[in-house]
């Protein structure tokens, strides 16, 4: 009952009116976030080029991605606390500066170890950008404008990964991988100049910074150890066959112990790095859980589809990116629509509709097969993503209900952490699921590839005849025909595994459809005051 009263009468401080047009502030902070999110996806397609240039193996080059993810994941949950200690504007500018300088150093890195070091620094800078931007927008815009403001932010977060592979493929094919880092430099400099001129901390945050908060060194250490080792396990688990690897097993144990200790520490500490006590509020706990699922679906599908297109259909990285890019356009169109709907209607209903549409889109993608056309893949991707903004924007209308304004930084940091954690876990679990399903389907299909099967026999003879016509001997033609049929079985097994993965995601999202109504509905005034704060 006490919680309901808190939700009905949340602590509110006077809004800080911006000195200039708030949309200039929105564009300024969105610029750096777009740069960071784009860079996190654009580097993926350049790994073969990086490995070749620096004389590294494919496995070694993946540390270019892993190092960034680990560093970013560590800073992300601490960003709210750091904003309170340092000052949000100062912390945000430090993150932009670190990201920009390290991007320049990444481009100049002469060896792989140096590149990995600079990527760690880049991830530390990038990890604090999104939560800081959300809190800045929340304090900059009036209640009626926040929906569209956060729709602009949402466009940057979801569109950047969609165009990243296309842009990365084009840059690496036509120039060199160094430019995927160098393009960040002018954007970062522009962002710093604009931020210095147009962004300011609200009064309540300046007062909070003046009060001396005890530094939770134990909490910081547990976050570094727990989140760092967890991110390593998620990123390298599939590659090393999970717990059959001693390194992965030990890392998982360390992560588990550290994270449990972190939860206990943060709940009991007076000034925690992550204020987990906020999860006592029904709306925030539910919204954090939904953010976790959203991370699984958004990151999982964004990574799974390019893998299917490149590994099974033979697309280049650039072609795969082009197939996904229209989905980014659909997201950009739907974001402002979702922002408007979140302010005019019950946000719980909008989220439920978003879950239903997203589930339908995921089920629709299960129609993919090895002969699917390029245009069909574009349509499938668009259908799959159009419901996501209906979840992405209004979820935080309920997320912030009853939350005191001085806790906005904490809410932003935890929400982003949950979404990113969901993305990391989702990609790892779905990758493992696809591998296992591929093996199961291959076993089933192989059972029919024998000479007692007339269809198999006719296919084998036809392929062998074509090889003989090309000049191969009888034995050689038969061997090549068997190898070709085996490769087709592998492709078909993998395609069926991908279909099962999308069935699984669709079923999970469908089960979530009624759950938003378990959350407390805000009053009309609170809905406007909190609209779209994601």
Tokens of 287: 């919204």
pLDDT tens string 428-464: 778 778 888 888 888 877 776 766 667 666 776 777 7
Is the Cα torsion angle 408, 414, 417, 423 positive or negative in sign? Answer: negative
Is the pLDDT score of 9 beyond 50? no
In this prediction, residue 3 carries a pLDDT of 42
Higher pLDDT among residues 451 and 254, named by residue: 254
pLDDT tens string 347-374: 888 889 999 999 998 898 888 888 888 8
pLDDT tens string 175-193: 778 888 888 899 889 988 8
Provide the 3-class DSSP secondary structure of residue 200: coil
Q: Are 103 and 181 in contact (CB under 8 A)?
A: yes
Is the pLDDT score of 15 beyond 50? no
Distance CA 44, CA 307 (A): 12
Distance CA 443, CA 496 (A): 12
In this prediction, residue 218 carries a pLDDT of 83
Higher pLDDT among residues 249 and 30, named by residue: 249
> What does pTM read for this prediction?
0.73
Q: Are 403 and 284 in contact (CB under 8 A)?
A: yes
DSSP labels, 266-327: HHH-SS-SS-GGGGGSHHHHHHHHHHHHHHHHHHHHHHHHHHIIIIIS---HHHHHHHHHHH
How far, in Å, are 196, 413, 489 from residue 235 at the CA level?
A: 36, 22, 28
Predicted confidence band of residue 8 (pLDDT cuts 50, 70, 90): very low
- CATH, range 2-213+271-440+492-530: 1.20.1250.20
pLDDT tens string 26-42: 778 888 888 887 776 67
Residue 361 CA, chain-centre distance (Å), reads 19
How far, in Å, are 287, 354, 357, 361, 430 from residue 512 at the CA level?
A: 12, 10, 12, 15, 19
Residue 135's nearest CA partner among 72, 173, 92, 193 is 92
Distance CA 469, CA 455 (A): 21
How far, in Å, are 8, 38, 174, 183, 184 from residue 167 at the CA level?
A: 47, 9, 11, 11, 13
Q: Name every residue whose Cβ is closer than 8 Å to that of residue 266 and which is 6 or more positions away in sequence.
A: 216, 219, 272, 273, 274, 275, 276
Distance CA 377, CA 309 (A): 9
Q: Per this entry, what is the length of the chain?
A: 534
Output b/e per residue, 269-295; b: 16+ Cβ within 10 A: beebbbbbebbebbbbebbbebbbbbb
Residue 343's nearest CA partner among 116, 525, 95 is 525
Q: Are 370 and 402 in contact (CB under 8 A)?
A: no
Q: Are 310 and 320 in contact (CB under 8 A)?
A: yes
In this prediction, residue 102 carries a pLDDT of 92
- Lowest mean per-residue pLDDT among 272-276, 284-288, 521-525: 521-525
Q: Are 198 and 210 in contact (CB under 8 A)?
A: no
Tokens of 22: 């708030």
Residue 43: CB atoms within 10 Å: 22
pLDDT tens string 71-128: 887 888 888 778 777 778 888 889 999 999 999 998 888 888 888 889 889 988 888 8
Distance CA 147, CA 228 (A): 34
Instruction: Tell me the pLDDT of the chain averaged across its residues.
Output: 77
Higher pLDDT among residues 256 and 450, named by residue: 256
């Amino acid at each position: 009952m006490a919680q309901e009263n808190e939700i009905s009468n949340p602590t509110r401080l006077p809004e800080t009116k911006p000195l200039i047009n708030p949309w200039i502030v929105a564009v300024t902070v969105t610029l750096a976030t777009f740069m960071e999110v784009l860079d996190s996806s654009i580097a993926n397609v350049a790994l073969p080029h990086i490995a070749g240039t620096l004389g590294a193996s494919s496995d070694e080059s993946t540390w270019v991605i892993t190092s960034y993810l680990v560093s970013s994941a560590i800073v992300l949950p601490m960003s709210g606390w750091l904003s309170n200690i340092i000052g949000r504007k100062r912390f945000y500018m430090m993150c932009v500066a670190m990201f920009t300088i390290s991007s320049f150093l990444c481009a100049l890195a002469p060896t792989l170890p140096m590149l990995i070091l600079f990527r760690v620094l880049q991830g530390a800078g990038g990890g604090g950008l999104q939560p800081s931007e959300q809190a800045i927008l929340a304090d900059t815009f009036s209640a009626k404008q926040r929906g569209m403001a956060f729709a602009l932010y949402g466009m940057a977060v979801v569109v950047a990964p969609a165009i990243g592979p296309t842009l990365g493929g084009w840059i690496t094919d036509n120039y060199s991988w160094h430019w995927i880092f160098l393009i960040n430099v002018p954007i970062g400099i522009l962002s710093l100049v604009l931020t210095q001129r147009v962004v300011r901390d609200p009064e309540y945050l300046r007062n909070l910074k003046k009060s001396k908060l005890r530094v939770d060194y134990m909490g910081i250490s547990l976050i570094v150890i727990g989140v760092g080792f967890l991110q390593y396990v998620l990123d390298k688990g599939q590659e090393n066959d999970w717990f059959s690897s001693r390194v992965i097993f030990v890392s998982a144990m360390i992560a588990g112990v550290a994270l449990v200790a972190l939860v206990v520490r943060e709940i009991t500490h007076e000034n925690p790095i992550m204020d987990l006590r906020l999860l006592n509020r029904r709306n925030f706990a539910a919204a954090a859980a939904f953010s976790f699922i959203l991370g699984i679906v958004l990151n999982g599908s964004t990574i799974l589809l390019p893998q299917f297109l490149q590994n099974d259909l033979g697309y280049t990285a650039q072609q795969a990116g082009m197939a996904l890019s229209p989905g980014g356009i659909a997201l950009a169109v739907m974001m402002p629509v979702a922002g408007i709907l979140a302010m005019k209607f019950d946000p719980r209903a909008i989220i439920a509709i978003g879950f239903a549409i997203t589930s339908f889109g995921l089920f629709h993608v299960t129609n993919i097969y090895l002969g699917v056309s390029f245009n069909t893949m574009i349509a499938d991707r668009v259908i799959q993503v159009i419901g996501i903004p209906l979840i992405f924007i209004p979820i935080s209308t309920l997320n912030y209900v009853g939350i005191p304004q001085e806790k906005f930084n904490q809410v932003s940091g935890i929400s982003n952490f949950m979404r990113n954690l969901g993305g990391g876990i989702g990609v790892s679990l779905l990758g493992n699921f696809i591998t296992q399903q591929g093996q199961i389907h291959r076993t089933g299909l192989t059972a029919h590839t024998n000479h007692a099967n007339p269809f198999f026999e006719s296919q084998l003879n036809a392929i062998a005849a074509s090889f003989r016509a090309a000049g191969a001997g009888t034995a050689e033609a038969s061997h090549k025909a068997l190898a070709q049929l085996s490769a087709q079985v592998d492709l078909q097994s993998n395609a069926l595994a991908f279909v099962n993965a999308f069935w699984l995601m669709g079923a999970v999202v469908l089960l979530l459809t009624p759950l938003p109504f378990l959350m407390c509905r805000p009053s009309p005034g609170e809905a406007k005051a909190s609209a779209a704060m994601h």
